Structure formats: structure tokens, C-alpha cells
A and B are shown apart, each in its own frame.
Chain A
Amino acid sequence: MSSAEKKTIDLKAALKDVAMTSAPSFPDFARVYQEAEQRPRKVRRFALSAALMALAAAASFWVGIYWHSQSSRDVALIESWSSSSSSAPSAVSIGTSNGEQSQVVLASSQNTAVNLFVQDLWESSSSGGL
């Protein structure tokens, strides 16, 4: 299109015209009041569910803490080997002797007195080591 054929647009008038054509003509006040009354209820419901979720998260956290502290007691027995005064055997096997189910036999793979080690371990455990 040549410049001679160009048409002009009055920006202010055209913008207002377009805006008024595309915008709603009347405000709906009934809906305003209805929505304004309903929203706090929705907010309260949301807050309640958020509080419940937070409570559940806190509860699971404390259960986790308790669980961890419980299992650490088992770990303490093994950790106490390092605090034992006698040197720990590098490997200990537990078994039964000649099919006797009422007896437990402890064997060490190194030349370490297992009975002394266990005795020491037992004493440190019973004196509050665990």
C-alpha cells in the first residue's frame, strides 16, 4: 500500500473504543459480595488442611528421631568394640559344638583371646557403656 493510501488511527479514541467494546458493561455487585463472603471459608479450609499436613510432617519427623535413637542402641554394641581395652579379633564366628543346640561356640580368626575380649565387652556394657 502506498503512503498516499494510508489511513490514520486516532490512538486515544480508538483505544477507548476497543477497550469499551471488549470490556463488560456492568459490574456484578451480587457476585462481589457472594465471593467476598465465600473466600474466607475457603481460606480457613486451606489453613486447616495446611495445619494438618504440618502436624503430620512434625509427627513423622519425631517418629523418625525416635526410631533412629532406638536403632543406635544396636550400633552401640559394635561401637563399644573400639573402646574395649583388649584388642578386638579381626573376625568372630558364632556356631554350635557337635550339634549341641544348647551351647554357643565363639571362634576367633586371629590369635586373640576371645573369652577375654567378650568378658571385657560384657563388663563395659554392664557398667553403662551402652
Chain B
Amino acid sequence: MSAEKKESGPLTPATPKDASKSAATGDDPLDLELAANASRGDKGAFERLMWRWWDRIRGYCAAFVAFDPELAEEAAQESLIRIYKALPRWRKESPLGGYLYGICRTTSADVMRTHARHHARNVQVEEFESLSLESPHASGEANVLRQEANQLLAIAMQKLEPVDRSMLYLHEVEGKGLSELGAMYDLPLGTVKSRLFRARDKLGMLLREMGYELS
């Protein structure tokens, strides 16, 4: 989905101060402008900001809740509500990305707690063979094999801790560095490094049991 299709009204132009701030926090200057306007109650700016961030927000929430579609939808939607309410309290000198991901993390954890019964539904790794997969000849072998791999990856990811899952997602997909993750999760660099290593190692081990290797 293209995130920048929904344009809103005129924005406050970026100042040199904003530019230096974005360089310091690593945020896009446009995001900072939109966030500043949204924090003053500009709904157009809020919607435009959320469209720009939507893929990151929904992907992160989905990873945190172990790719459960029902929980992912609830977590992503609830995150939007909380972001909308929390933006006026956002301290402009703190990184916007860290602030938004922090809200998503808290929200996803709350959603998981509320729906604790979903944990019991975790599919056992041993049961992966019973998953209903289409025949390789039905709709293109490559596509079906990719679906199978994704399904098994989702099962293996369920075995990781939510924080490790989300951290791995940010590192692998969003390309967040160790120091960024450390600041975001309020963890020392060494802890982030070892948690990522352990998560990836465990994931690799689980996938090897299923006949897959991580590339």
C-alpha cells in the first residue's frame, strides 16, 4: 500500500531547527512536521502521518502478537487510537519512531493480556505436518511453497517471547540497529545483541526441525 496517497491541508514549513532535530533523532522531517501539526489537533496531518507509518505500525503489531490476524487487527487499531490521544503529549526532542513503536508495543502487550486465551491456541511445532496446505500443483508450486514457508515461520515465531519477536522484526525488516533498539526497549547494547542472537538461533533451530534453513 502506498502510504503517501492521502494528502492533507497545508503544513507548517520545516524550519532549520526541525531539520537539525530530525538529523539528531533520525526521523523524517516531514514526519516531524506532521506529528507537530497532529499534536495540535490537525486530523488531516494525523491521517497523513498514519498513512506514512501504517505498514510499520501494522507489521510491528502483527509481529508482537505472533501474527494472529484477529489480535493484529485489534492491536493496530487500538495503537492508532492511543497514538491520536498521546501525540499532544509527545516531547518533540524524543525520537518520533521510538515514541510510536513504544505506544504500539504497550498496546499490543495489553491486547495480548486481554486475550490471554489465545496463547492456548498456539500450534505445537510437532503439529506442523497437519497444517492444511494446498497441493503444489494447484496454484503454482513456488507460491504454495512460499506460503508453506511463511506458515511455518509464523509457527516458529510464536515460540519466541513477544519482545524478542518484535525486536527481531524491527531488526530484520525495518533495519533498526542495535543502538536504536536499545534506546527503544531501554536495554543495554549487549543485552539487545544477545537477545537478537538467541531469538534468531532459536528460530533457526525450530525451522531446521521443520526442514528449513534461514538464509
Contact = CB atoms under 8 A, between A and B. Distances in A.
Interface of A: 1, 5-12, 14-29, 31-33, 35-36, 39
A29 B8 CA distance: 14
Contacts of A32: 77, 80-81, 84
A7 B145 contact: yes
B211 A23 contact: no
A90 B172 CA distance: 88
Interface SS, B side: helix
A73 B214 CA distance: 83
A36 B59 contact: no
A57 B203 CA distance: 54
A10 B207 CA distance: 12
B54 A19 contact: no
Interface string B143-177: 00110011011100100000000001100110000
Contacts of B203: 11
Contacts of B200: 11
A36 B154 CA distance: 33
B55 interface: yes
B43 A33 contact: yes
B172 A11 contact: yes
A24 B77 contact: yes
A19 B63 contact: yes
8 tightest Cβ-Cβ pairs between the two chains A and B: A23-B58, A23-B62, A19-B59, A22-B67, A1-B211, A19-B62, A24-B73, A8-B215
B149 A20 contact: no
B153 A15 contact: yes
30 contacts: A7-B212, A9-B207, A11-B172, A11-B214, A12-B172, A12-B173, A14-B146, A14-B150, A16-B59, A17-B150, A18-B150, A18-B157, A20-B59, A20-B62, A21-B150, A22-B62, A22-B72, A23-B62, A23-B69, A23-B72, A24-B58, A24-B73, A24-B77, A27-B80, A29-B43, A29-B50, A32-B81, A35-B81, A36-B85, A39-B81
Nearest to B211: A1
A7 B144 CA distance: 13
Interface of B: 1, 43, 47, 50-51, 54-55, 58-63, 67-69, 72-73, 76-77, 80-81, 84-85, 145-146, 149-150, 152-154, 157, 168-169, 172-173, 200, 203, 207-208, 211-215
Given A23-B59, A23-B62, A36-B85, A9 B173 contact: no
Contacts of B157: 15, 18
Contact of A23 (B47, B76, B84, B168): B76
A27 B77 contact: yes
A56 B95 CA distance: 45
Nearest to B165: A15
A18 B154 CA distance: 7
A24 B214 CA distance: 27
Nearest to A34: B81
B153 A23 contact: no
Contact of A22 (B47, B68, B85, B149): B68
Contacts of B85: 36, 39
B173 A36 contact: no
